[in-house]
Amino acid sequence: EPHPHVAGAVDVWIEHHRSPERVKLDPDRNIRLLQLSLKDDEDADRPVDAQNLYHLALEAESRRQWMNAIKLFRAYVPKSGFREQVYDALCEMGLCYRQLILDRRRRGLNFNLLMHDAMDSYFRAVEIRDDWPDAWVGLAHMRLLSGDPEGTLRYLARARLLEGHTMAPVIGVQPLR
């Protein structure tokens, strides 16, 4: 039945099935549904729904598929009009780059290129919301990983000025150089 407040909208009931231990019974379900929706958009010659890209990127990130998550976040960012979620996507992209940096020796990846891309993601996030701490903490992480304690402290000082922030994400990270 049509939604009373939005023309053309209908209410949808989604039932999530979990085992008694709260484990997803079908962990690939969300990915399949999101991919089907993207394919439907493509088949109908409609613009891609940016939200589907965002949620696919988060699914890839949760599965530690860092390169795929970065690709999906990159596709999402220019399509979205929701600035706060773009901020989040840029910070998540920075986290994916950080994971690649930590794992670069096994994968044979270039430290400087990954560092540049991670910093760029965080700086783009700061341009959107310089009053939120996540990007500042991300920048501090990257400076610490590059062996720049002064830069680390500068970004941490900025993050500390922002309300509701804890320093837990930085504790225990060692420089890589």
Over residues 86-124, the pLDDT tens digits come to 999 999 999 999 999 998 877 788 999 999 999 999 999
Residue 86: the pLDDT is 96
Mean pLDDT of 19-34: 73
Average pLDDT value for residue range 162-173: 52
Please give the mean pLDDT across all residues of the chain: 82
φ, ψ of residue 2 in degrees (nearest 5): -60, 145
Q: What is the pLDDT of residue 48?
A: 78
Which pLDDT score, from 0 to 100, does residue 170 have?
47
Phi and psi of 24, rounded to 5°?
-60, 130
The residue behind tokens 């994400």 is: 169
From 58-62, 159-163, 165-169, the region with the lowest mean pLDDT: 165-169
More confident of the two residues 173 and 74: 74
Helix (H/G/I), strand (E/B), else coil: 87: helix
CA-angle at 57, arms to 38 and 131, nearest 5°:
125
pLDDT at 175 over 90: no
> What is the DSSP code (8-state) at residue 21?
T
CB 86, CB 128: distance < 8 Å = yes
Cα–Cα distance for residue pair 138/124, rounded to 1 Å: 12
Whether residue 4 has pLDDT greater than 60: no
Q: What long-range pairs does 48-52 form, CB within 8 A, spacing at least 24?
A: 48/75, 48/79, 50/76, 50/79, 50/80, 50/81, 50/82, 51/80
pLDDT at 173 > cutoff 50: no
| Percent of the chain residues topping a pLDDT of 70 | 77
- The pTM of the full predicted model, rounded to 2 decimals, is 0.76
Write the pLDDT tens digit of every residue in 48-85.
788 989 999 999 999 999 999 999 999 999 999 899 99
